[in-house]
Amino acid sequence: MTIALMGLVTALNFIIIMIKFKVGRTEDAGLDLVLLITVFYVTSGSLAGMQIGMIGSFVISAYLYFSKQSLFKKRIV
């Protein structure tokens, strides 16, 4: 059951990242990918660490998706 749940969380995380790229929110998507790769690297030693990391990455990804703020302010020069 745990493995199926983690698979679902991982799939939803990737789906949100793909939607961000399609909508044009490349800043958020790029940050999500960097965080996801970091989480995979840091927590690759244990199953519990990987589960915590994936849920955390999903929560961050969902938060960035639903927040309408831009990460980097664009200046008009």
End-to-end CA distance of the chain: 54
Instruction: With H, G, I as helix, E, B as strand and everything else as coil, classify residue 68.
Output: coil
Does residue 5 lie within any of the structural domains?
no
Domain count, the chain: 1
Burial of 51 (0-12, 13-18, 19+ CB in 10 A): middle
Does residue 31 lie within any of the structural domains?
yes
pTM of this structure: 0.70
Q: Which domain holds residue 62?
A: 26-66
Each of the 77 residues of the chain gets a pLDDT tens digit; together they read 777 888 888 888 888 888 888 888 888 788 888 887 887 788 777 777 777 777 887 888 888 778 776 666 665 55
Cα(38)–Cα(54) distance, rounded to whole angstroms?
A: 11
Neighbours of 43 (CB within 10 A): 18
Does residue 73 lie within any of the structural domains?
no
